[in-house]
Structure 1
Amino acid sequence: MGTATGIIKALNSGVKHLAVKRFTLRYPEQKLKFVGDGYQFDPSSGVAIAGLKGRHMLFHDHCTGCQLCSIACEGVAEAIGMVKVPDKWGQNAKSIMPQIDYGKCVFCGLCVDACPFYALYMSNDYELSSFTKEGLIYTPAQLQVKPQVQQDSELIIDKRGARHG
């Protein structure tokens, strides 16, 4: 009797999932659609603005070269190094800005939290693959370029769990 009940439960479970839309995306043809600009932090209020923690964006006109992002990263991943930049930005007396090695980055967002000048935030760009380790190192000039995120599928979270719409 116990075996028959088990078989019926298993078949019932299988039949219930036949009509559910598949969760797997056919990447790279389909991509997730994220709402918002990415993960940000407001130092004045001390509140984080939720969002996907993808590739960083660096606003050169806000960065003062204070190195707080690099210090915040030291104990976690050591992915941020400060590099010399041209003397184009007057507020940056040290002429240094962060360079991020995505081969080491764990996307924790502590560097964004540590920046008191709104110079760093994390975008929705999650496609960071490269054929070489050097290709994963983003210079301040590369971090300044806003990523072109192309999203095709929306992630829906409800009482049934997460699925793509």
Structure 2
Amino acid sequence: MGTASGIIKALNSGIKHIATKRFTFRYPEQKLKFVGDGYQYDPDSGVGIAGYKGRHILFHDKCTGCQLCAIACEDIAEAIAMVKVPEQWKHNKKAIMPQIDYGKCVFCGLCVDACPFYALYMTNDYELSSFTKEALIYTPAQLQVKPKVDQDVEIQIDEKGANHG
């Protein structure tokens, strides 16, 4: 009796979703259109500000080299290494800033949560593919550059699920 009811439940679920508009688009010609900023964290209120978790952006003038982002990443992905920076970017006494290896990063956002100085945010830039592993390592200079994101497909989420327009 259990097998028959399981088959009926599966068929019922399949039939319910037959008329649902599909969430398929032709990438890279069509891309997701994200509204708002990337993921941020407000340490004063202890609340994460909703946003998509893509490539990080580093504000050199706010980074103190405290290494809390690397410590937060240590047991998860070990994607953040603190590296020496040239004199022109030396905004902190230690002259070190984070370097992120996107080949290891799991985009959890804990590094953003750990930064008490608002120096690290996550942006909406999700296109990080590369032909080499070395190109996935973003130095502090590369993390400083605000990503240019051109997107043209908007996502609407309703009670039936996600649809694109």
TM-score bracket for this pair, using the shorter chain length:
0.7 to 0.9
Residue identity opposite 2:103 in structure 1: G
Report the Cα distance in structure 1 between the residues aligned to 2:121 and 2:136, rounded to whole angstroms.
18
Report the Cα distance in structure 2 between the residues aligned to 1:59 and 1:42, rounded to whole angstroms.
15
* Residues 101-153 of structure 1: CA deviation (Å, up to 9, x unaligned): 00000000000000000000000000000000001000000000000011111
SS of the equivalent of 1:88 reads: helix
Q: Gaps (5+ residues) in structure 1? A: 1-5
- The percent of aligned pairs where both chains have the same amino acid is 76
Residue identity opposite 1:160 in structure 2: K
RMSD: 2.1
- Residue 50, structure 1, aligned to residue 72, structure 2: no
State the TM-score, normalizing by the size of structure 1.
Answer: 0.88
Residue identity opposite 1:153 in structure 2: V
In the alignment of these two chains, the number of paired residues is 156
State the TM-score, normalizing by the size of structure 2.
Answer: 0.88
SS of the equivalent of 1:155 reads: strand
Residue identity opposite 2:32 in structure 1: L
SS of the equivalent of 1:51 reads: coil
**Residue matched to 2:3:** none
**Residue matched to 2:81:** 81
Report the Cα distance in structure 1 between the residues aligned to 2:130 and 2:17, rounded to whole angstroms.
42
Report the Cα distance in structure 1 between the residues aligned to 2:92 and 2:135, rounded to whole angstroms.
26
**Residue matched to 1:94:** 94
Q: Gaps (5+ residues) in structure 2? A: 1-7
SS of the equivalent of 2:97 reads: strand
